[in-house]
A and B are shown apart, each in its own frame.
Chain A
Amino acid sequence: METARPASEQLLSTAPKPALTDGMLEGAHTSALLRAKFKIAHNAVRHIRKHVYLHLAAGIGMTLFLIGGGTGLFYYIFRFLMAQDIFGPPLMDRLIGAVLLIFFVMLLFSNLIITLSTTYISKEIDFLMGLPISRQSIFRQKLLESIVYSSWAFAMLSLPLFVSLGISRGAEWYYYPLALMLIVPFLAIPATLGAIVTMFVTAVLPARQTRVLCIALAIISVAGAVVLARLSGMGRLLATASEQDFLQIMNALALGNSPLLPSAWLTNALISIAPADAQDLNLGGYFYWFAMMTATSLFLLEVCRWLVPPLYYRGWCLSRDAAYKEVETNARFSPFRMIDRVLERTFRRPTAGLLSKDLKTFWRDPSQWTQLVILFGLMVIYVANLGWSQRYSDTMSLVVSDWRVMLSFFNLAATCFILSILTTRFVYPMLSLEGRGFWTVGLAPIPRSRILWQKFALCLMLCLGVSVPLTMLSGYILQVTFGFMLVSLGMIALMSLGLTSLSIGIGAILPDFREDNPARIANGVGGTLNVLLSLAYILVSVVLLALPAVLMEGGDRGAELIQRYAMIYLPITAGIQMAAIILPLRLGLRRWNRLEF
């Protein structure tokens, strides 16, 4: 009797007709799924009919700005370090290791979070699980998608780092292609590690109960940071402030070069082909570390492959079961009932309704919680670094003359940077998250502008709630003067206003109503534009603020310059701040009022 063809062959025209091995069929399925994704992306680009040149110019401009600006910044730092005869080059190696370690940790978190939402929570999985496609193919395709989403920013950031390292050390021409080759195996390691951890966690804990997972991750990350700091000797060093010595700084940074870390392998590979001294060029070393990364990533991929059959489907089913158990209570004294009452007493009813809806949505949305972990991780790294910077202030003053002044402004810039992460991750997606459900609000008898103002007010409170305590804490750690603390607080309040306005404005101008995952909205074109404009705004604002302080350090000549240019400086500074606050909101409001659904 003739055997019926497998249903998968009937559904997927790409599947070859003769009898196939499981592996060939999986390959055909993966290829069909990837082709569909490619087609979606291709069609999305093809259908940008309006302002196509504007989109193109913005894309090219953003890329050039990011790569060019990043290269300039890294080159400036590297050139400065290379100029310090004894300490510079080894410190530079350690710094690259430390930066790549931070990248690696962020990539790991980012992959964990995006794999969780893409591979378990995404609605597309419901559709794919119903098709006669192996789970291995689904997982593989989703893993690739997660890698692209979570790693493209690293790929963009690594280019300036690699290029500036090559230029500052006068590397040979082949350094550049060889350095680029390192990106793929390096990215595959945190991606596969993230996928493995996600599979284990979701097999025990439902993917939708991410609040618990996020809190667990936050605790693990803090505990991990403490253990690593102890292991590397940082904790001991932090406890002995009197031993202020350059070698101790090197020891403190040694963690980034630990041979167990893939980020250290990448650092070693880069330094092998771009050494401080040309005589140390070591091509063999490069290929050794390249092989180490490639072998590890392939091994982890294979581990993923082993784990998919026992864990993936189990975890996915558990996430579905948990969804149906999530029954909301309407008890008289439930926290949301109490919040609702407070909101109704404080605001007009429609505004209270919008606020209540946003708060409930945030609390119940796992993807928002996973984003909080990124922010939390960043803040932990930042505060830990501040402690370190303060402890080694005197030693660093030997290397960099104006270290203390610079540190105060770096701190302000870093606080603003964290704020910009907050505005990009949480504030920018807020209008997009109204999504296709917008008809409910669009139909209500309230002006559309009120929706925008409500989100603006909510986000401003959120930003001030994070940035003001952070500025006070960092000021306390760095022991800044009372006057500088006041200036910093004023500045951070102004920056909160500007960055919130920028994110709400861009969110209204470039909303993404098709996406319901805030992490993916933030990673899109609008989110990237928001990051770049926020960084530019922070840079300009901090430089403008630092300028008089730096000039004051220059004595009488500086004071004279301040007096002479005050009439230009003040209006320019005020103008930039006013423009940053008012312009995005005005443009955003205009666009928001004219949006069609």
Chain B
Amino acid sequence: MLLLDDLSKDYDGFWALRDLTLEIPDGEFFCFLGPNGAGKTTTIKIITGLLRPAKGRALICGRDIQRQPLEAKRLIGYIPDTPYLYEKLSGRDFMHFVGKLYDMERPEVNAATEKYFHAFRIAHAADNLIENYSFGMRQKLCFAAAFLHRPRVLVVDEPMVGLDPQSARTLKNFLREFCAGGGTVFLSTHILAIAEELCDRLGIITHGTLKFLGSLPELRRSLSREGSLEDLFLELTAEGVTDESENPFAQGAPAAPPAI
């Protein structure tokens, strides 16, 4: 279970997050939506303990990430949006490194590495240095490492960027199975189709403030209209740019240069 209680965060006076309160029970797949700069990554970094909140607390299965960081961190798996990894380690080295940080036995790490590397189709590159991995391969390695210690809460930031369709499908299946087994998924994304397909509930945030919390049918009811999640999302997060003269592409998209 994940509980965010009155969370706020400022950067030198700029409030990136204001009074965010959320409760996500065990087994729930929660999607966190919002335009760029809305405060999604800040929220995730507070949940994972990489940022300190100015106010409020984040509890992971009842453990405060600031007051009981070690207990709370044992329960979290995190997949960042930009997978910065140790470039001079191989994929297998990285799995062993993470396994040791979580105090796991070598055979257990070996078994999990084989399982996830095959599932995400990076087994062929297991012994290559990470610096030679493509963006998608790095992303897959992050997934494998996040599942390695069998977390109770999975925090995922923009998971599908860089993934090929087959790996994206594998990941979706993994996430569904994870929730079916009682795990909690907190997923932040711009890709509304993923939220539409997978989530039990969703939260929409703009300018650091939660605008909506509930299921997709509840969102439709609250806006009193039918339509895709994209339409509903755009309506809820509209900034009032309706004047065509303000649209830089009103006269059409930029033309390609003439052939040489």
A interface vs B, CB < 8 Å? Answer: 2-5, 10, 49-50, 323-324, 326-330, 340, 344, 348-350, 352-354, 356-357, 360-361, 364-365, 435-437, 439-447, 516, 594, 596-597
Contacts and interface: CB of A to CB of B under 8 A. Distances in A.
A245 B74 CA distance: 72
A364 B99 CA distance: 21
Interface in B92-125: 92-93, 96-104, 106
B49 A349 contact: no
B145 interface: yes
Given A356-B100, A364-B88, A439 B73 contact: no
Contacts of A349: 100, 103-104
Contact of B70 (A328, A340, A445): A445
Contacts of B145: 440
Contacts of B49: 442-443
Contacts of A323: 129, 131-132
B257 A4 contact: yes
B86 A326 contact: no
Interface magnitude class on chain B: 35 or more
Nearest to A436: B84
Given A4-B257, A329-B127, A330-B127, A439 B88 contact: no
Given A50-B12, A356-B100, A357-B86, 4 more contacts: A328-B92, A350-B102, A361-B89, A443-B49
B80 A439 contact: yes
Given A353-B100, A356-B100, A439 B127 contact: no
Contacts of B73: 443-445
Interface in B66-90: 69-71, 73-74, 76, 78, 80, 82, 84-90
B52 interface: yes
A445 B74 contact: yes
Interface majority SS on A: helix, strand, loop or mixed?
helix
Interface in B29-86: 45, 48-52, 69-71, 73-74, 76, 78, 80, 82, 84-86
Contacts of B92: 328, 330
Nearest to B98: A440
A350 B100 contact: yes
A596 B101 contact: no
Contacts, number: 119
A327 B128 contact: yes
- Which of B71, B85, B90 counts the most chain A CB atoms within 10 A? B90
18 contacts: A4-B260, A328-B92, A344-B100, A344-B106, A353-B98, A353-B99, A360-B93, A361-B88, A361-B89, A436-B84, A439-B50, A439-B80, A440-B85, A443-B48, A443-B73, A444-B98, A444-B101, A596-B51
A352 B127 contact: no
Contact of A441 (B52, B101, B131): B101
B52 A596 contact: yes
Nearest to B75: A445
B129 A364 contact: yes
A513 to B, nearest CB: 10
Contacts of A364: 88, 129
B248 interface: no
A440 B149 CA distance: 13
B258 interface: yes
Contact of B132 (A50, A324, A340, A350): A324
- Which of B78, B93, B128, B259 counts the most chain A CB atoms within 10 A? B93
A131 to B, nearest CB: 16
Contacts of A49: 12
The 4 A-B pairs at the shortest CB distance, nearest first, are namely: A353-B100, A444-B101, A436-B84, A364-B88
Contacts of A356: 96-97, 100
Contact of A326 (B78, B103, B126, B132): B132
B85 A328 contact: no
Nearest to B105: A349
Contacts of B45: 596-597
A29 B129 CA distance: 34
Contacts of B86: 357, 361, 437, 440
Contacts of B103: 348-350, 445
Given A437-B85, A596-B52, A443 B100 contact: no
Contact of A352 (B74, B98, B100, B258): B100
Given A440-B86, A445-B73, A328 B129 contact: yes
Nearest to B11: A596
A211 to B, nearest CB: 13
Interface string B6-28: 00000010000000000000000
A3 B92 CA distance: 53
Contacts of B50: 439, 442-443, 596-597
A236 B173 CA distance: 78
A382 B68 CA distance: 51
Contacts of A436: 82, 84
Contacts of B80: 439
Contacts of B51: 596-597
Interface in B203-260: 257-260
A324 B133 CA distance: 9
B48 to A, nearest CB: 6
Contacts of B99: 353
